[in-house]
Amino acid sequence: MQLPFSAFIGAEKAKKAIILNLINPRIGGVLLRGETGTGKTTLLRGLQVGTVCPNQIGYENLVGSADFAATIKGDGLRHKGALLETVDGGAIILDQLHLFNTGVLSTIINAQQVGYFSVERSGFSKSVTSHFAILAALNPSESTLSNSVIDDFGIIVDLPVIADMHKRRAIINLALKSDQQLADYKEQDKDLRRTIEQAKLRLKTVVLPFPLQLEMVKILDNYQFSGNHLDIKLLETTLALAAYYGRSQVEASDLIEASELVLYARRQQTTAPESTEQPQQEDDNQEQQQDNSPEQQDDQPEQQDEPNSDSDETEQQQLPDFDTQNNVQSSDQITTEKIGSGIDFKIGTENARIKDQIIGTGKREKRIGKDRHGHTVFYRSTDKYDDIDIFGTIMKAAPHQIVRQQQANTNSAQANRPRLIIKKRDLQRKVREHRIGNTLIFLLDASGSLRANKRMEALKGTIFNILSEAYVKRDKVALIAFRDGDVDLALPVTSSVDLAHKRLKELPSGGNSPIAEALSYAKRYINSNQIKSRESKYVLIFLSDGRANASSFSDMPVDDAKKAARTLATTNIKKVFIDYESGRIKLGLMKQLAELADAEFIYVDGVSEEMLTETVQAIK
Amino acid sequence: MNTKNNRRPNFPFVAVVGQQRMKKALLLNLINPSIGGVLIRGEKGTAKSTLVRALAELMPQRPIVTDCPFGCIKGDVEHYCNNCKATDGALASESRSMRIIELPINATEDRVSGSLDIEAAIHDGSKQFDVGLLGKANNNVLYVDEINLLEDHIVDIILDAAAMGVNYMERDGVSYSHPARFILIGTMNPEEGDIRPQLLDRFGLVTDVTSEKAVEKRIQLMQRRLEYEANPKAFIEKYADETAQLRQKIATAQALSQQMIEKGNFGDDIISLIAKICIDLQLDGHRGDITMLKTAIALAAYAGRQTIERDDVIEAAQYVIPHRMRRLPMERGEIDETALLEHIGAL
């Protein structure tokens, strides 16, 4: 049963963001981020506006294709079935955003921004106007989406993990005790839809007075991560808020509320999209706490609608401050933040869950038929009735129609009926574009020894070497580094040299070595990537001396590491363990781990860029 | 093929706040289409697409052969399509401005290179050629938004056509070739992956764009957006004069650039400066120096001059060099501009 929007208790910010985007799609979409059970789907679909877009959608259904029924009947080529056209005037719902193909997502987002889309497919050349809102959601622990895609969204809202599922259910049950109450909520939804319609009409008349324009630019100027795309998102959100409150002039309160919605949830995102595993948990790192605090505040539903009630000092500092510029930080600090914070894999109190995964409960195996992925780019002759390209087949058959019709007419009583005669030799199969390449996941032990820094540099060099050839070889790279109780996704899967340079500028090293956590993190990370891009071959390259000396699972770090290694044995990932253990006494732990994980084992006497690059080339 | 087109009119080029480098790179290509197009790299929201689409209002007029599907320019006999070549006597023509042909990333091969005209084939069994995007783009602009997301297969077709200036189509029982000479304009966000070196190499110019951060510019940007949204037509009208002036300026510069190239005397010091830059920075091949010269000429012409100055070369270098330098593994992808300027200045 679909829970009414109004029956959903809490998540006021998410609700507001959805309403505002429906009022003013130019805000550029709303993205809800939250773990399973945080109510993403209910929120997206609750109002019953919008069309759900399947995440495996291809271009044919997104921008439309030929209406072959019409073609065969003899009506000529007609365009049909463009999802982007049917959502005109409404909303498109993108649940599990991370499962969408990059090109498809980019097509949807661009169409939304410019108000039209172009089709150049299978006989069609067309430009179609369509104005719609985007309502999207993703689960951050499964997501491998790039920052730039996430950053395209007008408003990003993080949904709190309801620690106690019973509490959530109780709320819902309470809310829906009787049919009468359900009907009440549905009535409220109806009112809300009416309010949205009225606000839509008012939106065109909303005026932004000059002093507030100035304030808006000051806010943007104070905000570190802002580009001009945020100017527009903030502007449109502010206008929508005024319209929502029934005014035709923007007030200062609208501006404050809009910056809360547009800017402050983004701060966290810009630094690290993968960090939201447990956003509400206490963090023992002071710097990080400061960085995370606005988000943590926002995650408490009770406080959401009262931006001025916060007592936290850091929060105060980040509220729009019209007169001072104290909160502007130097760009150096930004860089350090980007690398050092946020991306951390908070493992502290999450042991139970991680343990499950070490044992390997094999969560979420949503694979769709393996054969036919990739976009159709063209068609070729075939004699098998498999993955047939109808357009290509008709194309092939077209020139023969007159002759075939004549033959058919002499042989058959069914003369003169307009139809298309297709023979087996006309058959064309789809030719799909695959981007097969290697995805190399480096797992680097950045702990302890004096040489950690040197190894880090060698690996960075290797990564740049690989990426500078990436567009030829279609390789992608990710780097997971672990040290001192932390596992960092230092570089998410990418083929961009640019991004690698930005993200790897500075990486910390030193401390102890939590190998068990690192291996299980790597396994999960690869799994979630495999769901999205099935074409790629994954290779895990693990660099360590094998000397596990920290674990949050038990006080037996080496045993835990072995357990974690064993779970890798059953995966279909290629694994290479590179051991650089040095010193007079060698424990040979890395070799044991490699055997348990069914990995290729390489021992090296010192790590260098040349050696690593060579090794990696050989692996591929 | 029907074309439903009731989009909002384009935001005027001259009303876009700031972004001088990007604007100039685009205009230089209108002044001399043989510069070889431009790749615009940068984050979202930097008006990349807006500016490219806005170019439509500034496009120069040319005498186009009437009813020629490939838009042959009358008099440019060397690049005529087969039909125009075969026509005896005078071809009728009409004055048309350049057009922007958009190639969306959803494009399939048949729409890019053209295909059999399926309707004609079904109805009268004739094998006619249905012009694709490359045919439409002949003597026009081919614009690919997010070019780094384009399928490899499609990139290959574009590369082949760009290299030869001709599109060959051999499929569905149709064999056809036609001129495909176009200005390639691409935009991309480098964080979403790089483009293939062969494709990068095709671009005459490259420019990186960033957001306009100055407070007064941001206010201007906001106000213009509000004004445009409120009444697009009135907004465009407001900038009509300025647009017309720029259009005129481009037309003048185009003529001037042509004259300079025909005359062919660019000054020894200019030529040797260009050579020095290319040798010193170890640019691959000869495309770099020729493009740098053409760009410098276009810059001089845009400034209304008949002679190239040293500063024109230095400005041209900033567009021509970045993607032609061999990338050193440990260095940032883009070159440091001040360092480059100092370096060139010292030559």
What residues contact B342, with CB distance under 8 A and at least 6 apart?
A: none
DSSP strand pairing (A116-121 vs A124-129) = antiparallel
Tell me the chain B residues in contact with residue A110 when contact means C-beta distances shorter than 8 Å: 49, 145-146
- Shortest distance, CA A610 to any CA of chain B (angstroms): 12
Inter-chain CB pairs, A–B, below 8 Å: 216
d(CA A32, CA A37): 12
d(CA B70, CA A535): 39
For A:534-593, CB contacts with B below 8 A are none
pLDDT the model gives residue A392: 81
d(CA B158, CA B153): 9
Name the residue of chain B whose CA is nearest to A73's CA. Answer: B122
d(CA B100, CA B145): 12
pLDDT the model gives residue A145: 75
More confident residue, A123 or A115: A115
How many CB atoms sit inside 10 A of residue B217's CB?
16
pLDDT the model gives residue A585: 80
Q: Mean pLDDT, to the nearest integer, of A231-257? A: 95
Cα–Cα nearest to A158, from A234, A47, A266: A266
* Mutual angle of helices A210-222 and A252-259, in 10-degree steps: 20
Burial of A475 from C-beta contacts in 10 A (0-12 / 13-18 / 19+) = buried
List the single range of A25-39, A78-92, A110-124, A351-365 with lowest mean pLDDT: A351-365
Which residue blocks in chain B are alpha helix, DSSP H? Answer: 20-31, 48-54, 82-86, 109-113, 118-124, 133-136, 152-164, 197-202, 215-230, 232-238, 240-263, 268-280, 287-302, 310-320, 337-346
For the stretch B28-48, pLDDT in tens is 999 999 999 999 998 877 788
Tell me the chain A residues in contact with residue B227 when contact means C-beta distances shorter than 8 Å: none
d(CA B112, CA B101): 11
* Mutual angle of helices A557-569 and A351-359, in 10-degree steps: 50
For the stretch A445-496, pLDDT in tens is 888 766 777 888 888 888 888 887 765 567 788 899 888 878 888 888 888 7
Per the CB < 8 A criterion, the answer to whether A255 and A215 are in contact is: yes
Q: Which residue of A104, A322, A377, A428 to mutate against B (max B Cβ within 10 Å)?
A: A377
How does DSSP classify residue B191? G
Name the residue of chain B whose CA is nearest to A150's CA. Answer: B44
Please indicate whether, in this complex, the C-beta atoms of B218 and A399 are within 8 angstroms of each other.
Answer: no
Q: Which residue of B1, B7, B22, B122 to mutate against A (max A Cβ within 10 Å)?
A: B122
The Cα angle at residue B325 between residues B320 and B331, in degrees rounded to 5:
125
pLDDT the model gives residue B326: 61
- Shortest distance, CA A74 to any CA of chain B (angstroms): 8
Residue that the structure tokens 């809009």 belong to: A258
Report how far apart, in Å, the C-alpha atoms of A239 and of each of A25, A134, A250, A255 are. Answer: 11, 18, 7, 9
The Cα angle at residue A80 between residues B158 and A83, in degrees rounded to 5:
85
For B:44-63, CB contacts with A below 8 A are 44-47, 49
What residues contact A285, with CB distance under 8 A and at least 6 apart?
A: A341, A344
For B:141-170, CB contacts with A below 8 A are 145-146, 149, 151-154
Question: Is any Cβ of chain A less than 8 angstroms from the Cβ of B339?
Answer: no
For the stretch A122-178, pLDDT in tens is 777 888 999 999 999 998 877 767 777 888 899 999 988 766 666 666 666 655 666
pLDDT the model gives residue B204: 93
- Shortest distance, CA A224 to any CA of chain B (angstroms): 11
List the single range of A37-51, A54-68, A333-347, B112-126 with lowest mean pLDDT: A333-347
pLDDT above 50 for A279: no
Please indicate whether, in this complex, the C-beta atoms of A217 and B172 are within 8 angstroms of each other.
Answer: no
Tell me the chain B residues in contact with residue A122 when contact means C-beta distances shorter than 8 Å: 108, 110-111
How many Å separate Cα B110 from the centre of its chain? 23
Name the residue of chain B whose CA is nearest to A461's CA. Answer: B330
Q: Mean pLDDT, to the nearest integer, of A590-599? A: 92
For A:483-522, CB contacts with B below 8 A are 494-499, 501
Q: Per the structure block, which two tokens stand in for B264?
A: 């062919």
Please indicate whether, in this complex, the C-beta atoms of B222 and A227 are within 8 angstroms of each other.
Answer: no
Please indicate whether, in this complex, the C-beta atoms of A120 and B104 are within 8 angstroms of each other.
Answer: yes
Backbone torsion region of residue A438, taken as left when φ is above 0, otherwise alpha when ψ lies between -120 and 50, otherwise beta: beta
Tell me the chain B residues in contact with residue A494 when contact means C-beta distances shorter than 8 Å: 193
For A:69-98, CB contacts with B below 8 A are 74, 76-77, 79
Burial of B342 from C-beta contacts in 10 A (0-12 / 13-18 / 19+) = exposed
End-to-end CA distance of chain A: 49
pLDDT the model gives residue B283: 77
For the stretch A56-98, pLDDT in tens is 888 888 998 777 666 666 666 677 778 999 999 999 999 989 8
pLDDT the model gives residue A76: 63
Per the CB < 8 A criterion, the answer to whether A454 and A580 are in contact is: no
Give the residue ranges of chain B where pLDDT is below 50: 1-5, 328-334
Please indicate whether, in this complex, the C-beta atoms of B108 and A376 are within 8 angstroms of each other.
Answer: yes
Instruction: Give all strands of the β-sheet with A30-33 in edge-to-edge order.
Output: A51-52, A91-94, A133-138, A30-33, A155-158
Please indicate whether, in this complex, the C-beta atoms of B105 and A433 are within 8 angstroms of each other.
Answer: no
Cα–Cα nearest to A81, from A64, A66, A58: A64
Q: Per the structure block, which two tokens stand in for A601?
A: 């084992």
Tell me the chain A residues in contact with residue B19 when contact means C-beta distances shorter than 8 Å: none
H or E stretch at A600: strand A600-603
d(CA A361, CA A191): 45
d(CA B225, CA B231): 10
Q: Per the structure block, which two tokens stand in for A610?
A: 């040349």
More confident residue, A1 or B41: B41
How does DSSP classify residue B136? H
pLDDT the model gives residue A420: 76
Which residues of B are identified as catalytic? 287
Q: Mean pLDDT, to the nearest integer, of A387-406? A: 79
Q: Which residues of B233-243 are buried (b: 16+ CB within 10 A; e: fewer)?
A: eebbebbeeeb
Structure ipTM = 0.86
Please indicate whether, in this complex, the C-beta atoms of B124 and A102 are within 8 angstroms of each other.
Answer: no
For the stretch A12-21, pLDDT in tens is 899 999 999 9
Please indicate whether, in this complex, the C-beta atoms of A121 and B190 are within 8 angstroms of each other.
Answer: no
Please indicate whether, in this complex, the C-beta atoms of B125 and A400 are within 8 angstroms of each other.
Answer: yes
pLDDT the model gives residue B233: 93
pLDDT the model gives residue A557: 87
Name the residue of chain B whose CA is nearest to A118's CA. Answer: B104
d(CA A546, CA A582): 11
Q: Per the structure block, which two tokens stand in for B244?
A: 């017309």
